[in-house]
Amino acid sequence: MRKQIAAANWKMNGTLQQANELLDGIINEKISYSPHREVVFAVPFPYLILAKEKIKNINGYKVAAQNCYTKSSGAFTGEVSAAMLQSIEVDYVIIGHSERREIFAENSKMLAAKVDVCLANNLSPIFCCGEPLQIREAETQNEYVATQIQESLFHLTNDQLKNVVVAYEPIWAIGTGKTATAQQAQDMQAFIRNIFKEKYGDEVAKNISILYGGSVKATNAKEIFEMPDVDGGLVGGASLSVPEFISIIKSLK
């Protein structure tokens, strides 16, 4: 079975005390994980080492950075390199979240470079793609998402792509309270899987994990995650609540 992932994207939230409480609250639940289930904590940079220490020697948990820079080192004040993240044994890096694209103007060429630098440092990118409301209303979301994927991932080899996780996030459903229906999520994620099948073949497409992100919460996670091409979620606001996120974790296939 493909890896089923509940990824908590804390974004720019939480004090050190709150980070401790969130991590402890979830880890202390002592959820039993089958080999194909995984929980990922995408915490702000100051808490990465804390999160790594908390999950040490506990099965089922990984840690992600929320971003990295395209260069390995140099005079880039305020940036964090993939080599730095590798040195503290981070597992994943979120690449191309809609907020990075929209607020910080990250384009497909930059995101392709970020994917490359992650893979070169043995970090697995969680590559985000998804359409804004006007694209969805124009019913051109398939072409829009296909372009995002082609421009940032299609230079990868089959072996490289095996280390990538994809997260489909309809931008109109992030932080708005709106959620794509389970069927809308399934339709797009099946489309994405077929894009990979056409480029890389059936074996690669069948095994790549594709997450859904967009107002996932305890009340809708199970219905969304039950869809055949949805392999878990990239969860924002609901991941800041211990009981909410625990419920979401337990909704994984």
Compute the radius of gyration of the chain from its Cα atoms.
Answer: 17
CA dihedral 118, 119, 122, 126 (to 10 degrees): 60
How remote is the C-alpha of 142 from its chain's centroid?
20
Kindly give, in sequence order, each residue whose CB lies less than 8 Å from that of residue 204, ignoring residues fewer than 6 positions away: 158, 161, 162, 196, 197
Task: Provide φ and ψ at 80, rounded to 5°.
Answer: -130, 130
Residue 195, CA distances (Å) to 40, 188, 192, 201 in order? 26, 11, 5, 9
Q: Which of 159, 162, 163 is nearest to 118 (CA)?
A: 163
Q: Which of 99, 131, 169, 244 is catalytic?
A: 169
Kindly give, in sequence order, each residue whose CB lies less than 8 Å from that of residue 198, ignoring residues fewer than 6 positions away: none
Task: State whether the Cα torsion 183-149-209-202 is positive or negative.
Answer: positive
Is 169 an annotated catalytic residue? yes
Q: Which of 97, 99, 106, 131 is catalytic?
A: 97
Residues assigned a catalytic role:
97, 169
